[in-house]
């Protein structure tokens, strides 16, 4: 998409940080497999899911609209095209005229997951670059652009990511949990979000209880730019939105 000059009418772009209706919540939910990341998406208001990972069985019977991202697509351009449609509030229809998704009726954009998308984009970059160093840099640039674009469109957002481990820089015998993303973008990604919610599941028999941590827990990174409980029992995205709005209105 070509860049636009701001021009002399830039005043129309000015908003106040005190205007609560403009506040949108951007959450990175990360943790091990089965920790409740996709479950959290199901609690969001009117979500639409960009799904590179296709692991949406958790949301069966919830009638949530999603688009699967396949390896035969031009990945980066396809994601940006979807976000263009979200920005324009387009109504997408099939050949018979049936509505597939109406972005006027979407409140939350979701990416499930950042790990899988980064793998797909890395493969795409490798196909066009013979320079490994530049390829890693291009991966980071494209991932930052996708996340930043999602956050600029006036929706709440949820992005999920799996968990991996790496050796501590000061003690290589100590293994620390990190985002399951390769390359330098892994150390930058968390700074793009308002809330890093570390997810954890506790299973007893057939019962599973989810917990979300907004403060570091057992060396796992977490954060919140707004006041939230240190631990959220059975994380619910609407609860997070409500808590954020209450904090902003004080």
pLDDT at 175: 62
Which residues 6+ apart lie within 8 Å of 153 measured at CB? 83, 86, 87, 109
Nearest to 212 by CA among 234, 179, 186, 190: 234
The rounded percent of the chain whose pLDDT value lies above 90 is: 42
Mean pLDDT of all residues in 2-22: 67
Instruction: Report the predicted TM-score, pTM, of the whole model to 2 decimal places.
Output: 0.86
| More confidently predicted of 228 and 16 | 228
pLDDT at 29: 94
- HSE at residue 146, side-chain half, CA atoms within 13 A, is 27
pLDDT at 249: 67
pLDDT at 222: 80
What is 114-165 written as a DSSP string? HHHHHHHHHHHHHHH-S-HHHHHHHHHHHHHHHHHHHHTSSSEEEEEE-EEE
pLDDT tens-place string over residues 64-106: 888 999 888 899 999 999 999 999 999 999 888 899 999 999 9
Q: Is 23-249 CATH 3.40.50?
A: yes
Residue 77 CB burial class (10 angstroms; 0-12, 13-18, ≥19): exposed
Structure tokens at 68: 């699967």
pLDDT at 3: 66
- Which of 11-15, 70-74, 117-121: highest mean pLDDT? 117-121
- Which of 61-75, 107-121, 182-196: highest mean pLDDT? 107-121
**C-alpha distances out from residue 117 to 82, 106, 162, Å:** 14, 22, 12
């Amino acid at each position: 998409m070509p860049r636009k000059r701001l021009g002399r009418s830039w005043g129309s772009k000015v908003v106040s940080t005190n205007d609560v209706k403009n506040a949108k919540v951007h959450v990175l939910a990360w943790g091990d497999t089965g920790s409740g990341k996709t479950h959290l998406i199901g609690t969001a208001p009117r979500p639409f899911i960009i799904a590179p990972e296709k692991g949406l069985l958790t949301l069966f019977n919830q009638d949530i609209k999603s688009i699967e991202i396949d390896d035969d697509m031009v990945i980066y351009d396809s994601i940006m095209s979807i976000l263009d449609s979200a920005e324009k509030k387009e109504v997408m229809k099939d050949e018979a005229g049936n509505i597939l998704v109406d972005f006027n009726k979407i409140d939350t954009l979701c990416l499930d997951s950042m790990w899988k998308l980064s793998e797909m984009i890395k493969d795409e970059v490798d196909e066009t670059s013979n320079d490994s160093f530049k390829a890693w840099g291009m991966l980071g640039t494209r991932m930052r652009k996708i996340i930043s674009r999602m956050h600029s469109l006036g929706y709440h957002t949820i992005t999920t990511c799996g968990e991996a481990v790496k050796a501590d820089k000061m003690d290589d015998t100590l293994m620390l949990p990190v985002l399951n993303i390769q390359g330098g973008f892994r150390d930058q990604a968390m700074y793009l979000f308002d809330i890093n919610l570390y997810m954890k599941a506790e299973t007893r028999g057939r019962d599973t209880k989810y917990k979300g941590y907004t403060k570091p827990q057992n060396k796992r990174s977490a954060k919140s730019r707004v006041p939230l409980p240190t631990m959220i029992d059975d994380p619910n995205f609407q609860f997070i939105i409500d808590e954020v709005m209450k904090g902003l209105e004080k």
